[in-house]
Amino acid sequence: MAQAHRFLFAAPRHHPKRPIPIPLTRDTEASVDLAWALLDQGYDPGTSILNFPPNQRRFDLLPFESLFSVELPFLENEDILCQATRPPLSDFIEDDKKKVEPSNTTLERATFMHWWRYFRCCSRSSIILRDDVASRLPNGFKNRQEMIFHQTGCRFKFIRESGRSYTRQNPLGLRTAAFLLRVDEIFPGGPGLVGAWGLNAEATLAWCRTLRHRASHLLEHRGLIMVDLYPTKTPARPPTYGYMDDWKFEVVLETQGELPSRPEEKDFAIAL
């Protein structure tokens, strides 16, 4: 039986010289909801894969020849990696307060290769879609090609179509964005990938709950889906995460399938 393996990033370390606290991971509750959504589609529970960085904190991405090899012999071709954390594709070039540390492993980079098919920039405060992805944005949403977010609350700060001026500040009120990527194989003969995340922990959890309870049909799609999320007010002391089930969503973009590989993926395959 195919298995869904949670692909977990490390929680932020409190000091750059401290080692990563192994029991602590990012977006743990969100990854559980995403895994449950896949269980409902016939996947068995898999193993938690700790996509953790080395002891020395760094946010830059190493060249192919310097990546760390990771051996996970239990992974099968029909299995799937379940990721509920934003991939740190551009954290090393953005001056954001909140960053995700990459592990710089071959497995992580295999997933990055697929995210890069859709994003030219992906950080806590900035998402820029590639031109061939943005060309699929429907009329009325062309200004979602470049999106700048508030680092607190993650609502839209500015948006624009490439080559045009940014909109006024806070153009969409309290709305924010979330993303879903479904890949059949991250490399030939390798496992698939389902990645679902928003621009902060609350948005990520709300989106993964939505995929589990209200929009599991979206997990059948291949390629990238982008949505607008409409947050509701967070209660002072919520007894459960159920308040997130009132968040509405609107599909903004569907690529209707995986996009073709990019030239640098050939070089990565050779490095593997």
Confidence (pLDDT) at 21: 85
The confidence score (pLDDT) of residue 15 equals 81
> Rounded to an integer, what distance in angstroms lies between the CA atom of residue 204 and that of residue 208?
6
Confidence of residue 59 (pLDDT cuts 50, 70, 90): very high
In the structure, what pLDDT confidence band is assigned to residue 271 with cuts at 50, 70 and 90? low
> CB-based contacts of 45: which residues, under 8 Å, 6+ apart?
3, 4, 35, 39
Q: Rounded distance, CA 36 to CA 137, Å?
A: 30
Q: What is the mean pLDDT of residues 61-78?
A: 94
C-alpha angle 186-8-229 in degrees, rounded to nearest 5 = 85
Q: How confident is the model at residue 176 (pLDDT cuts 50, 70, 90)?
A: very high
pLDDT of residue 149: 97
Give the pLDDT score at 272: 62
Tell me the per-residue pLDDT of 79-108, one tens digit each, with 9 for 90 and over: 999 999 999 999 999 889 889 999 999 999
Tokens 């080559």 sit at which residue? 163
Q: How many CB atoms lie within 10 A of CB 134?
A: 20
Find out whether 209 and 241 touch, Cβ atoms under 8 Å: yes
Confidence at 37, pLDDT banded by 50, 70, 90: very high
Task: Report the percent of the chain where pLDDT is more than 90.
Answer: 86
